[in-house]
């Protein structure tokens, strides 16, 4: 691995857009295309911006692709009347994205919403997987935090009171809570991390779209047993890097993955949901170290 200056690493990141299934998808790219591919997928309420600090480091070892899903970041926000805001449709976008870029094999970074989206992709095409990296991205019921459990109950009981509670999930106070809860050192959390998400959420119609996505999240639970069976059967090389203080997806979710993949490596960090904000450098180095250990075996 060559040693580039910090400036060279940062300047190696490029920002592009591509049309996938009729929707304009923004993505960040870095690293030599001849290197192993690594797709980084964000969650709620973030975008590829959440990877801004780790992409330059990871690009020393990987060819990095980090797309924004429709309705997130800088990708298009099609009307809910013309675009199906479901996790299965997001998976079709990711699959189309990989096809457009002729990516046949890649490692996946599964974070938050990115976990069910990518598991939909992997379930249909397990041969695409090189390595999995789970970071606070859950596919086990025991990993669900109380907030998500309550939200699913509220969605199924459509009262005026419950609607008011759900509406808070797309407001700045909740977005900030996801970023700051469980953090060891608040001074390490850059305010633009959550303020960009708060700002982009104010776009016309987007709050209603994100509540639709949150409602659809509950539909992923029906796929959990099949996804768990897929990883048990395939035994993909897997690194689990997890903010141990996360209240969105609890550490029990990480332990469940590790239990089903006994050869995986599990590392907890003393932080919350957005672990990269506080331990990005450490996690990026762990990813590189783990992947290089696989090449030596």
Q: Which residues are catalytic?
A: 273
Is the backbone peptide bond immediately before 45 cis, with ω within 30 degrees of 0? yes
Q: How far is CA 155 from the centre of its chain?
A: 23
Looking at the DSSP bridge assignments, the partners of residue 26 are 17
- Whether 135 and 51 have beta carbons less than 8 Å apart is answered as no
- Whether 136 and 249 have beta carbons less than 8 Å apart is answered as yes
Nearest to 115 by CA among 269, 246, 205: 246
């Amino acid at each position: 691995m060559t040693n580039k200056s910090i400036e060279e690493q940062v300047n190696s990141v490029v920002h592009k857009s591509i049309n996938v299934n009729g929707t304009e998808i923004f993505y960040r790219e870095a690293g030599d295309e001849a290197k192993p591919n690594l797709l980084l997928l964000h969650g709620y309420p973030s975008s590829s911006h959440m990877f801004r600090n780790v992409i330059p480091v990871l690009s020393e070892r990987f060819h990095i692709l980090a797309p924004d899903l429709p309705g997130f970041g800088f990708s298009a926000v099609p009307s809910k009347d013309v675009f199906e805001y479901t996790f299965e449709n997001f998976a079709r976008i990711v699959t189309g994205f990989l096809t457009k870029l002729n990516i046949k094999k890649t490692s996946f970074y599964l974070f938050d919403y990115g976990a069910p989206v990518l598991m939909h992709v992997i379930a249909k095409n397990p041969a695409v997987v090189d390595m999995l990296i789970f970071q606070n991205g859950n596919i086990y019921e025991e990993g669900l935090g109380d907030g998500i459990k309550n939200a699913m109950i509220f969605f199924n009981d459509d009262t005026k009171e419950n609607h008011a509670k759900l509406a808070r999930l797309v407001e700045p106070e909740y977005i900030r809570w996801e970023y700051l809860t469980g953090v060891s050192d608040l001074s390490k959390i850059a305010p633009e991390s959550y303020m960009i998400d708060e700002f982009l959420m104010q776009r016309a119609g987007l709050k209603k779209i994100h509540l639709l996505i949150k409602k659809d999240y509950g539909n992923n639970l029906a796929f959990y047993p099949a996804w768990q069976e897929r990883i048990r059967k395939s035994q993909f090389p897997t690194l689990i890097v997890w903010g141990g203080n996360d209240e969105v997806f609890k550490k029990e979710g990480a332990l469940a993955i590790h239990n089903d993949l006994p050869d995986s490596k599990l590392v907890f960090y003393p932080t919350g949901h957005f672990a990269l904000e506080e331990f990005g450098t450490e996690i990026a180095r762990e990813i590189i170290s783990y992947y290089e250990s696989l090449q030596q075996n």
